[in-house]
């Protein structure tokens, strides 16, 4: 019995699969203790905990970073480099501001410690690490009483002997994160940030997963990683930095799986939840990046390549000092939530605007299990309209229009700004609120096709069950590609492969079932940034690099190509959830429809393959509502997806 769980800022989603089929469920999240909502959902589903195989997308690491509520952590580096994380890359957020507001450093200066153990770029020992230095460092750590320690010595990816000695000497009970294990790559700042983030949230993740495992008593608990693969909960805490995009990665895995089954391999995806919206581009595979960011911090571990904005169903509408309407990024969250939830929320949210415009039908919200407070919505909308000096309906339309523009801008960032024409792609929307805005967003980008997948409101939870067990491993190997011996490259790959195979086999994956993909990060000599290229041989990857560079940046150069990193992706496929074929309606059968306040309403569970609906209409289901705008047509495909076409 499989259970996929996605913990979001507003709702916690469940997808349960057994021999009888698929069941879905939603409950309000409990941010102060996420496991409470999970237990509530499991109890509501009435399933046997001990037989469950749970795959979970968690926001514990993400929220700790966003809210700056990680643990007290010491940062240990070489002499003279204590300010490494504070100085960063000296990139200014406001280029022309001569008096920028000072930013709080990631690690307070009193928690930044220095020691020996320095090696050169040629792996030569410049300053040995003495026993006396170790004893001095441990004395300082005992005095400071941190919960975690991040160790980041220069060029540890070449020789990590000093880091290992420091790790072994740390007081018992401390969470220790060393850079040569977290991210064995060059660039000491980015490596240091990843190592610190891992230590900053690691104890919180371990504590949460231990509580969850003890509470649910399932036979297996796995966690989604930011790269789109899963890892056993027992190992996840030590790699907490790889969970910062845990939930969104699940949505992309599901989109890839369902898109493949539906015949769409080129997708723009939009995951709109209660707090934020994530957009991504899929071209037959999930793109990964090692240039991600969270709260302004670089995250150089592999994660799904997506763009996130603070716009969701719970985004709050307000009027600024100039009398202009604003939407987001502040969110009503799960408590008090939108005004229509009837939990004390008084501000208008995007959800309230959809309710006011009758795009959310109060009788069918969450399958009719959650009543909505229309009076509270009307009062909030009237108050907003008074501040704007317009009618309430105009205010509601303005909220929707502004939220749509925020999301359309995000879609342009992930496509047009990268030189990719979105028009040949299909727009796949999911999350609890995405399908309410799908038609308007597709029109904004000139797209003719959109998809609302089966179980769209809980697609990220569904994607947890479509993800393989996986590892993304890397190691820097710098030098001109023509000068690096093939044997050296192959030995580097072999070392990474053996590490990944051992970790996956420890999770029960058979050696014969492990798939391996080899990549190299290349750049022109003198460049700072790289492009990932599939490894085959030096001549082929050089040619492929020139081609990709020209495609990405519009030009290639007659310069030597430099090797920077070796990357290995290992995955052990798990049984993927089956998508049930839908039956077609009899030739003379009519699609069941009802009218409510002038709107055509269709129950998604009553739709069958090849059914056709013309907008304007609402298609309601337990965990989402699709607003089919005028000028759009919907056809149900063979697995139950809603395929929308512009007429």
For the ranges 209-213, 359-363, 391-395, which has the lowest average pLDDT?
A: 359-363
Taking the model in full, what pTM does it have?
Answer: 0.82
What does the alpha-carbon distance between residue 118 and residue 294 come to, in Å, rounded to a whole number? 30
Angle (nearest 5°) at CA 616 between 613 and 621: 65
Every domain of the chain and the residues it spans: 48-244, 469-572, 594-646
Sequence-distant (6+) residues with CB within 8 A of 635 are 610, 611, 612, 613, 642, 643, 645
Which residue shows structure tokens 């509501």?
44
- pLDDT given for residue 334 in this prediction: 65
Count CB-CB contacts under 10 A for residue 190. 20
**pLDDT digit string, tens, across residues 253-284:** 889 989 988 889 899 999 887 777 889 999 88
Domain 469-572 architecture = 2-Layer Sandwich (3.30)
Query: What SS3 string covers 362-429?
Result: CCCHHHHCCCCCHHHHHHHHHHHHHHHCCCHHHHHHHHHHHHHHHHHHHHHHHCHHHCCCCCCCEEEE
Ranges of beta strands (E only) in 513-624 are 514-524, 531-534, 561-572, 594-596, 599-603, 612-614, 617-620
Q: Tokens at residue 110, please?
A: 């009193």
- pLDDT given for residue 158 in this prediction: 92
Q: Which 3 state secondary structure label does DSSP give 509? A: coil
What does the alpha-carbon distance between residue 217 and residue 201 come to, in Å, rounded to a whole number? 24
Burial 192-203 (b: 16+ CB within 10 A, else e): bbbbbbbbbbbb
- pLDDT given for residue 151 in this prediction: 97
- pLDDT given for residue 575 in this prediction: 65
Q: Tokens at residue 516, please?
A: 């391996």
**pLDDT digit string, tens, across residues 407-429:** 999 999 989 888 889 999 999 99
What does the alpha-carbon distance between residue 624 and residue 610 come to, in Å, rounded to a whole number? 21
Average pLDDT in the 484-512 region? 91
What does the alpha-carbon distance between residue 440 and residue 646 come to, in Å, rounded to a whole number? 11
Label the pairing between strands 625-628 and 617-620: antiparallel
Sequence-distant (6+) residues with CB within 8 A of 192 are 75, 77, 84, 85, 150, 152, 179
**pLDDT digit string, tens, across residues 571-604:** 987 666 777 788 888 877 888 888 887 889 999 8
Q: Which own/partner pairs from 374-378 qualify as long-range (CB within 8 Å, at least 24 positions apart)?
A: 374/340, 376/339, 376/340, 376/342, 376/345, 376/346, 377/338, 377/339, 377/340, 377/348, 377/352
Q: Are 524 and 530 in contact (CB under 8 A)?
A: no
What letter would DSSP give residue 206? H
- pLDDT given for residue 234 in this prediction: 86
Residue 368: phi and psi, rounded to 5, are 85, 0
Q: Are 240 and 261 in contact (CB under 8 A)?
A: no
Q: Are 197 and 65 in contact (CB under 8 A)?
A: yes
What does the alpha-carbon distance between residue 309 and residue 70 come to, in Å, rounded to a whole number? 22
Estimate the crossing angle of helix 161-169 against helix 131-144, to 10 degrees: 50
Q: Are 635 and 645 in contact (CB under 8 A)?
A: yes
Q: Tokens at residue 301, please?
A: 């571990």
Give the range with max mean pLDDT: 68-72, 293-297, 314-318, 562-566.
562-566
For the ranges 174-178, 220-224, 450-454, which has the lowest average pLDDT?
A: 220-224
For the ranges 135-144, 266-275, 485-494, which has the lowest average pLDDT?
A: 266-275
Q: Which own/partner pairs from 582-585 qualify as long-range (CB within 8 Å, at least 24 positions apart)?
A: 582/608, 582/609, 582/636, 582/637, 582/638, 582/639, 582/640, 583/608, 583/609, 584/608, 584/609, 584/610, 585/609, 585/610, 585/611
Q: How far is CA 179 from CA 152, 331, 642, in A?
A: 5, 35, 46
Instruction: Name the band, by pLDDT with cuts 50, 70 and 90, for residue 45.
Output: confident
Q: Tokens at residue 588, please?
A: 């003379």
């Amino acid at each position: 019995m499989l259970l996929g769980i996605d913990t979001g800022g507003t709702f916690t989603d469940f997808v349960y699969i057994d021999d009888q089929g698929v069941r879905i469920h939603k409950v309000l999240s409990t941010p102060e203790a996420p496991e409470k909502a999970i237990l509530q959902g499991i109890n509501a589903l009435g399933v046997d905990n001990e037989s469950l195989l749970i795959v979970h997308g968690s926001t514990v690491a993400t929220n700790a970073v966003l809210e700056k509520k990680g643990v007290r952590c010491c940062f240990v580096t070489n002499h003279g480099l204590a300010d490494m994380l504070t100085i960063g890359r000296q990139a200014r957020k406001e280029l022309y501001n001569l008096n920028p507001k000072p930013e709080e450093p990631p690690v307070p200066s009193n928690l930044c410690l220095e020691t020996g153990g320095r090696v050169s770029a040629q792996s030569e020992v410049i300053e040995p690490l003495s026993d006396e230095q170790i004893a001095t460092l441990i004395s300082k750590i005992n005095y400071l009483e941190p919960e975690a320690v991040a160790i980041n010595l220069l060029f540890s990816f070449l020789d990590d002997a000093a880091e290992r000695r420091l790790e072994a000497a740390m007081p018992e009970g401390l969470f220790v994160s060393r850079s040569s294990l977290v991210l064995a790559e060059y660039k000491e700042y980015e490596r240091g940030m990843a190592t610190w983030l891992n230590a900053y949230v690691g104890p919180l993740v371990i504590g949460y997963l231990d509580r969850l495992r003890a509470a649910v008593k399932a036979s297996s608990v796995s966690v989604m990683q930011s790269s789109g693969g899963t890892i056993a909960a027992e190992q996840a805490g030590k790699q907490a930095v790889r969970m910062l995009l845990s939930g969104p990665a699940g949505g992309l895995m599901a989109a890839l799986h369902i898109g493949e089954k539906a015949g769409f391999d080129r997708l723009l995806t939009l995951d709109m939840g209660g707090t934020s919206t994530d957009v991504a581009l899929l071209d037959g595979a999930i793109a990964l990046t090692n240039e991600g960011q969270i709260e302004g911090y670089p995250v150089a571990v592999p994660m799904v390549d997506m763009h996130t904005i603070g716009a969701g169903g719970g985004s709050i509408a307000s009027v600024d000092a100039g009398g202009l309407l604003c939407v987001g990024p502040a969110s009503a969250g799960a408590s008090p939530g939108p005004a229509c939830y009837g939990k004390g929320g008084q501000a208008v949210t995007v959800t309230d605007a959809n309710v006011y415009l009758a795009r959310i039908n109060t009788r069918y919200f969450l399958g009719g299990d959650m009543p909505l407070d229309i009076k509270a919505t009307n009062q909030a909308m009237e108050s907003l309209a008074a501040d704007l000096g317009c009618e309430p309906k105009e205010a509601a339309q303005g909220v929707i229009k502004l939220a749509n523009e925020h999301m359309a801008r995000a879609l342009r960032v992930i496509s047009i700004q990268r030189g990719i024409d979105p028009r040949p792609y299909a727009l796949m929307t999911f999350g609890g609120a995405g399908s309410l805005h799908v038609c308007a967003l597709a029109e904004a980008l000139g797209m003719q096709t959109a998809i609302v997948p089966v179980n769209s409101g809980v697609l990220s939870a569904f994607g947890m069950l479509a993800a393989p067990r996986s590892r993304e491993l890397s190691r820097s190997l710098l030098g001109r590609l023509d000068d690096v011996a093939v044997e050296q490259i192959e030995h580097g790959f072999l070392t990474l492969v053996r590490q990944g195979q051992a970790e996956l086999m420890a999770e029960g994956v058979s050696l014969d079932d492990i798939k391996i993909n080899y990549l190299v990060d290349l750049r022109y000599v003198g460049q700072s940034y790289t492009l990932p290229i599939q490894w085959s041989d030096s001549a082929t990857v050089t040619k492929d690099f020139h081609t990709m560079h020209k495609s990405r940046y519009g030009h290639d150069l007659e310069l030597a190509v430099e090797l920077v990193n070796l990357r290995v992706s290992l995955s052990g496929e798990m049984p993927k959830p089956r998508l049930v074929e839908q039956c077609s309606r009899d030739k003379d059968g009519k699609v069941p429809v009802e009218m409510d306040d002038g709107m055509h309403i269709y129950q998604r569970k009553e739709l069958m393959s090849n059914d056709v609906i013309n907008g304007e209409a609402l298609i309601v289901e337990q965990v989402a509502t699709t607003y089919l705008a005028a000028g759009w047509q919907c056809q149900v495909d063979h697995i139950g997806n809603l395929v929308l076409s512009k007429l």
